[in-house]
Chains A and B, each alone.
Chain A
Amino acid sequence: MYNFRAFLQELSHNANIRFNLVSEDGSLIFESNLGLSNAELFILPVYLGKTKAVLSCSKEYQVCSSLLKYTIENKYREFFSLREQFLTEILEGKEVSTDKVEKSIPFLSKGCEVLIVSVEGSRYEALNIIRQLYKEQDVLSSAFGDNVVIVGNFDDIEDHAKSIRDLITSDLYCKSCVSFSNRVYDAASIKKAYEDAKECMTLGKKFGLKEEIFNYNKMLFEKIVYNISIAVKNELLVIFKEKFNLFDSEMITTIDEFINCGLNISDAARKLYIHRNTLIYRLDKINKETGFDIRNFKEATVFTIAFLVWKENKWK
C-alpha cells in the first residue's frame, strides 16, 4: 500500500483536492484533513480491486468526483497488476530494471523472504485471503504456476508460514503446505530463493513430511537422500522395503516422531502421547524386525536414510 498511498498524496496535492479514502471495514486508506461537517461532504463508492471503499470530498468538487474515482481505481488496478506482473517476470527469470524493482518492491532492500503455498483447493481463493491477511504490509503475492508465491519482509518467517497454513485450513477448509528459503536483498536473488523454496516443497511432499511447513535450511538431509544414486536406493530398498511395508501406521508414526525428535526418547514419547516404556518396547520391536537399533546414532543414520528412500518410493 505504501506506493499507492504516495500516489494518493500526490494526486491530492497536484489536483489541489482534499479527500479521504476509507475502506468498507472502516480502515483509513488516505486522509487529507478535510475538516468538514457531514453536510458539507460529497460521498461516493470506489472499488479497489474487490474491496469497496468510500471516497469523501467537499461538495464543491462534486463535478470532478467521477474523474477522481476513475483515476484512483485505474491507478490501483495498474499498480497492483503491475506489481503482480513484475513478480511474475522476476520468477520467470526475466531481466528487470533496478528502477522498476525500487518502485514495485521498495522494501526489498530491508530483506525479503519468498514463501510458496501449495493448496489442495483453489489457489485463487487462497491468494485472496493471503492478500487480505497482509493488506497493510510490505508483502507482494501472486498466483504462479500451481502455487501462490509470497514475497515479503517477515521477521518470524516460521510463525508466518504456520499462520498461513492454519488460515487456509480454518477458512478454506483445505490442506496446504508452505515452504520458504533464505532472506534475500536484491531482485536477482528472489528467483534463486523461489527455486530453493520450490525444491524444498518438492522434497517435503516426496518424503511425506508431517509438518507441512518446509524450511529450506532444515532440509539438507532430505536433499542429500534425494540425490543418492538409484543403484544405492535400490540396494537399500532390497534390504528394508518388505520390513517397512509390514509396519502398521502406528509404527511408522513412531519412527517418524523418534527421528524428528533427534532420537530423544522422552520428547518422542511425549509427542506420541505414550509412556516412554511403550516407546522403548516399540524401538526394541523395530530392532528385532530390522536388525537396526535406532537409539544408536550410527545405526539410526543408515535406518533414517533407508526410511526416507522407502517413503520416497511409496509416495511416487
Chain B
Amino acid sequence: MAGLSLKHIYKVYPGNVTAVKDFNLEIEDKEFIVFVGPSGCGKSTTLRMIAGLEEISQGELSIGDRIVNDVAPKDRDIAMVFQNYALYPHMTVYDNMAFGLKLRKIPKAEIDKKVKEAAKVLDITHLLDRKPKALSGGQRQRVALGRAIVREPKVFLMDEPLSNLDAKLRVQMRTVIGKLHKTLQTTFVYVTHDQIEAMTMGTRIVVMKDGIAQQVDTPSNIYEHPTNIFVAGFIGSPQINFVEAKIAEKDGKILVAFGDDTIILPDDKSKVLRDLGYVGKDVIFGIRPEDIDDNPTFIEKHQGSIIETNVELTELMGAETYLYLSKGKLNMTIRISGTSKAKVGDKISIALDETKIHIFDKETEATVL
C-alpha cells in the first residue's frame, strides 16, 4: 500500500504533441482516485506513465517515498486492469489467476491460498475450473480483476475496465470494484470517460481536458462547486443548463438578465458579483436540471425567478421526468417528479432555485460563483 505523488508531469510525443501538461496530484494511501474526461484528454496517458508503459517527458513521479521515474515498471509494484483484458484461452480460471504468481516463482501453496481468497472476494469460486470461453463478459472481467488482486500490489491501475460491458453489468461491476477497494484497502487509480462511474466510485475525481487537470476534488464538490464551464458541463446528467446573460442592478438588487426574463440573486451572491465588478458585464449562468421545478410550492418559494416556458418534449424516466423546455432562444432541461402532468405543447411556469445558480466569466469560462 502506498500513496502516489505526481509533480509537474508532462508527456510530449514526437512532433511536439503535448498529451499531458504540468500535471500535479498527490494521491493518498488507500485512496480511490478517478481520472475522468473526454477521449484524448490525457487520462489514459497519465495512467500509463504511472504504470511505466509511457516514459515521463518531464516531472517527478513517486510511489510511496520512492521516485520511480527511472524504476523499471515491473519493480513499481503495481497491477493493471485494462478494458479488453484478454484471458489465456487455454487455461482455466484458476490457472489464469495463478499464472502471474507462477512466473514470480511463488510457492504452490501460497498461490493456491491467494487464488482462492481472491476468487472468494470476487464471488467466482464456482468458476475456477472453467475455461474463459465458458464465461460471460462480467465473469471474464472479474477474472481479470482477480489476476491483478492476487499480486497484492501497492497500487491498482484500472483503464476503463468496465467500458466493454453492457449497462446493467457495468452497474453490478461498479459495486464489485467499490467493495474490492474497501476490502483490499489499497490505492486505486481508475480511468473512465463515464461521469457516473467517476461520481459513484471515486473518493476524489480528477477532471481532465486537453492534457490539463481542470479540477481535483471530491465528487460532491465537483458537482456542486465546479471550477469552470467545462467541469460543470461534463459532470451531471442531464447536463447543466447554460444561459448567456448580463449582470444588472435594479433597486439595489443584483439581477441576472436574459431575454425578457430576470432572476433576482440572493444577497451573498450579489455581494460577490458587485465586489468583483461584474455588474453590467456579460456572463454565462448555469443551473442544474434538478434546481428548476414547476411545482407550485417550489414556485411560491422562488418568486424572484419565475419563467414562462413551452414544453417541447417530455421523458418519463420512472421516478422522475425530464422536461425539455424552450422560450425564444432559451432552451432548458429540468428534472422533476415522475408524477408531473406537463405535456408536450403546454405552456408552464417554472422557477429556478436562485441559491443554486452558478455564474461563469464569459471570456475565461472560469467560475465566478
- Residues of chain A touching chain B, judged by Cβ–Cβ distance below 8 Å, are 24-26, 129, 132-134, 137, 155-156, 159-160, 162-163, 165-167, 169-175, 249-250, 253, 272-274
- Contact check: which of B38, B79, B89, B163 meets A274 at CB < 8 Å? B38
Helix, strand, loop or mixed for chain A's interface?
helix
List which B36-63 residues lie within 8 A (CB) of chain A. Answer: 38-40, 51-53
Residues of B within 8 A of A (CB): 17, 38-40, 51-53, 72-74, 79-80, 82, 84-90, 99-100, 102-103, 105, 108, 111, 132-133, 147, 163, 193-194
Closest residue on chain A to residue B133 by CB atoms: A156
Cβ contact of B86, chosen from A163, A171, A272, cutoff 8 A:
A163
Contact B89 A160 (CB under 8 A): yes
Out of B51, B84, B90, B133, name the residue touching A162 (CB < 8 Å): B84
A229 vs B52: C-alpha distance when bound (angstroms):
41
30 contacts between A and B (CB under 8 A): A24-B105, A26-B108, A129-B103, A132-B102, A132-B103, A133-B88, A134-B90, A155-B89, A156-B89, A160-B89, A162-B86, A163-B89, A166-B82, A166-B84, A166-B85, A166-B86, A169-B53, A170-B80, A171-B100, A172-B73, A173-B52, A173-B73, A174-B73, A250-B39, A253-B39, A253-B40, A272-B39, A273-B39, A273-B163, A274-B38
- Additional A-B contact list (16), CB under 8 Å, known A134-B90, A169-B53: A24-B105, A25-B102, A25-B111, A155-B89, A159-B87, A159-B89, A162-B84, A163-B88, A166-B82, A166-B85, A170-B79, A170-B100, A171-B100, A174-B53, A249-B17, A253-B40
A107 smallest CB distance to B (angstroms)? 13
A250: chain B residues within 8 A (beta carbon)? 39-40
Contacts known (A169-B80, A171-B74, A274-B38); A163 close to B87, Cβ less than 8 A? yes
Nearest to B81 among chain A residues (CB) is A170
Question: Which residue among A133, A134, A172 has the maximum number of chain B CB atoms within 10 Å of its CB?
Answer: A133
Residue contact A173 to B108, C-beta cutoff 8 Å: no
The CA of A169 and the CA of B100, in the complex, are separated in Å by 12
> Are A274 and B39 in contact, CB atoms less than 8 angstroms apart?
yes
A280–B88 CA distance with the chains assembled, in angstroms:
38
Asked whether, in the complex, the Cβ of B40 is within 8 Å of the Cβ of A159, the reply is: no
Measured CB to CB, the closest approach of chain B to A3, in angstroms, equals: 19
Cα distance A24–B103 when bound, in Å? 12
